[in-house]
């Protein structure tokens, strides 16, 4: 295993489906790329979702690294627009409160945390690596690794800020949602 920097995607458009980044989100990605370059990242992974890939593009533009997609970095539940946004948020809240609840078309918080943990456990040298992912699955991982009581309450309520970095070394959490 190696040091992994889990990067929350940049600010996204408020659209259903697979939205891209706003202009601010693209700028955030480049700034994070500059910081990650200084950390000596050797590999760049990304969720296959558009907002994550666009964030990885911004990082790659600075680091020169090729992007490798991995579906284990995807979000556990995504608003597709078939229900209202309020209904989606209510479902998200239920799946956050009940970590074993598996919604239609998604997976439970516990399953998502285990999936991201498997991705991290499969990483090997050389490192460090950056992995662009999503806030929900990052929180699911933190709850799995640290327990619910150790996750900052504001992170559970407000989510991971755009382009915040959670650093994990050998499945040990080093930093949580640090903004660069």
pLDDT in tens, 14-24: 999 999 999 99
- For residue 121, pLDDT over 80 is answered with yes
Count of other CB atoms within 10 angstroms of residue 25 = 21
User: What is the average pLDDT score of the chain?
Assistant: 94
Quote the pLDDT of residue 69.
Answer: 98
Q: What are phi and psi of 142, to 5 degrees?
A: -60, -40
Enumerate residues 6+ apart whose C-beta is below 8 A from 179. Answer: 161, 163, 164, 165
Domains of the chain, earliest start first: 7-171 (3.40.50.1240)
Confidence of residue 127 (pLDDT cuts 50, 70, 90): confident
Nearest to 47 by CA among 82, 106, 6, 14: 6
pLDDT value of residue 50: 97
Percent of the chain with pLDDT over 90: 86
Which is catalytic among the residues 9, 11, 107, 134? 9
1 vs 47, residue with greater confidence: 47
Q: What is the pLDDT of residue 45?
A: 98
Determine the Cα–Cα distance for residues 56 and 46; give it in Å rounded to an integer.
6
Predicted confidence (pLDDT) at residue 180 exceeds the cutoff of 80: no
| Residue 1: pLDDT band with limits 50, 70, 90 | low
- pLDDT confidence bin for 157, thresholds 50/70/90: confident
Q: Determine the pLDDT at residue 62.
A: 97
Which residue in the list 11, 75, 107, 134 is annotated as catalytic? 75
Q: What is the DSSP letter of 39?
A: T
Q: Is 13 a catalytic residue?
A: no
Q: What distance in Å separates the CA atoms of residue 62 and residue 34, rounded to the nearest whole number?
A: 6
List, edge to edge, every strand of the sheet that includes 129-133: 67-69, 43-46, 129-133, 3-8, 165-169, 172-178
DSSP alpha helix (H) spans, the chain: 23-38, 50-63, 85-97, 109-122, 135-146, 153-158
pLDDT band at 156 (very low <50, low <70, confident <90, very high): confident
The pLDDT of residue 125 is above 80: no
Is the Cβ–Cβ distance between 134 and 75 less than 8 Å? yes
């Amino acid at each position: 295993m190696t040091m992994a920097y889990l990067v929350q995607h940049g600010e996204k458009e408020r659209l259903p489906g697979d939205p891209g980044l706003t202009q601010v989100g693209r700028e955030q990605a480049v700034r994070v790329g500059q910081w990650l370059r200084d950390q000596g990242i050797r590999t760049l992974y990304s969720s296959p979702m558009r907002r994550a890939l666009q964030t990885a593009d911004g990082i790659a533009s600075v680091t020169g690294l090729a992007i490798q997609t991995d579906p284990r970095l995807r979000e556990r539940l995504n608003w597709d627009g078939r229900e209202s946004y309020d209904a989606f948020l209510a479902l998200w809240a239920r799946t956050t409160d009940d970590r074993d609840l598996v919604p239609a078309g998604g997976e439970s918080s516990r399953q998502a945390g285990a999936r991201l943990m498997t991705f991290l456990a499969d990483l090997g040298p050389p490192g460090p690596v950056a992995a662009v992912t999503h806030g929900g699955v990052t929180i699911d991982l933190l709850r799995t690794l640290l327990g619910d009581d150790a996750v900052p309450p504001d992170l559970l309520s407000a989510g991971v800020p755009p382009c915040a970095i959670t650093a994990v070394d050998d499945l040990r959490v080093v930093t949580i949602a640090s903004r660069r």
